Structure 1
Amino acid sequence: MVDRARRAPETVEEIAARTGRPLTTVKNTWRRHPDWPAPLPEKRGRWVQYDPDAVDAFLRDHIDRRAVALEPRRLYTAQDLEAAGIGIKAGTIRADVTRRRWPEPDDTEGGTKRWYGATATRALEGRRGYRRTAGQ
């Protein structure tokens, strides 16, 4: 059995600093999620504390997303990317193109917008919460 040292409880302020996210995101968005861990019974001053392992599990399951390995030279529609499991809906991709938060399509033959897998992978890596897949 592995003897892991127990990490000290964290406040939302410390969670925000550790994850590089604004305090308001942790307080007003993450904590309102139904799967956010329950606070520990002991407080530190006026701040409630959370088990860092439970917070990490929440982040892994609900916030961090592993970038899907896409075929670099294959062309994907927004619907194809959604079906590949990238974690973004096709409608969001189309809206983000309009708002210039997603790259312009690499191909528009026949009026269908398509992106190479390499283009989509770069776009995903620039989004918050995505990590590279192993071997990339």
Structure 2
Amino acid sequence: MVDRPGLIVPEITERYGVSPDTVRTVWARHPEWPGPAGKRGRYKEYDAQAVADFVRKHIERQAVELEPRRLYTAQQLEDAGIGIKAGTIRADLTRGRWPEPDDAEHGVKRWYGQTAMTAMTSRRSYRRNREG
């Protein structure tokens, strides 16, 4: 097998775990999406490093490191820069897409930093801090 420096849409979808429609109708319409480096069969071929750089810059979001044993409200999580709004946390909680609060004293829902970090790394497009 020849190691190609370029990727076509099916290879991009496999590598990054997204649908072909996401690549074609969302990513490829972004102003900073790399231009095609050539063509392979019926597909445009994109430079693999340029695609990786685009994903790192525009798609993947670093998970914020929170104090694991500190309790945070939804607003405090938003203010800490986790990448989602307090309203989204509350809506996702209602829909079962966010963990139940670790504490709800006096009607104020709060989550430990560890709970929020775990929830964020399981969300699409988030990853734990890693080198390289």
TM-score, normalised with respect to structure 1: 0.86
Q: Find the counterpart in structure 2 of residue 90 from structure 1.
A: 86
Aligned mates of 2:31, 2:91 — CA distance in 1: 27
Q: Following TM superposition, where does structure 1 have runs of at least 4 consecutive aligned residues deviating by more than 6 angstroms?
A: none
Match of 2:98 among 96, 102, 109: 102
TM-score, normalised with respect to structure 2: 0.88
Match of 2:109 among 113, 117, 122: 113
**RMSD of aligned alpha carbons:** 1.8
Aligned mates of 1:62, 1:102 — CA distance in 2: 23
Total equivalences in the alignment: 129
Unaligned runs of 5+ in 1: 1-5
Q: Report the Cα offset of residue 9 of structure 1.
A: 1.2
Aligned mates of 1:30, 1:14 — CA distance in 2: 14
2:38 matched to 1:26?
Answer: no
Unaligned runs of 5+ in 2: none
For 1:49, the aligned partner's letter is E
Q: Find the counterpart in structure 2 of residue 80 from structure 1.
A: 76
- Indicate the percent of aligned positions where both proteins have the same amino acid: 61
Matches within 5 A, 1:14-93: 14-40=11-37, 42-93=38-89
Task: Check 1:100–1:38 CA distance in 2 against 1; reply closer, same or farther (3 A cut).
Answer: same
Aligned mates of 1:89, 1:110 — CA distance in 2: 22
Q: Find the counterpart in structure 2 of residue 12 from structure 1.
A: 9
Aligned mates of 1:117, 1:110 — CA distance in 2: 19
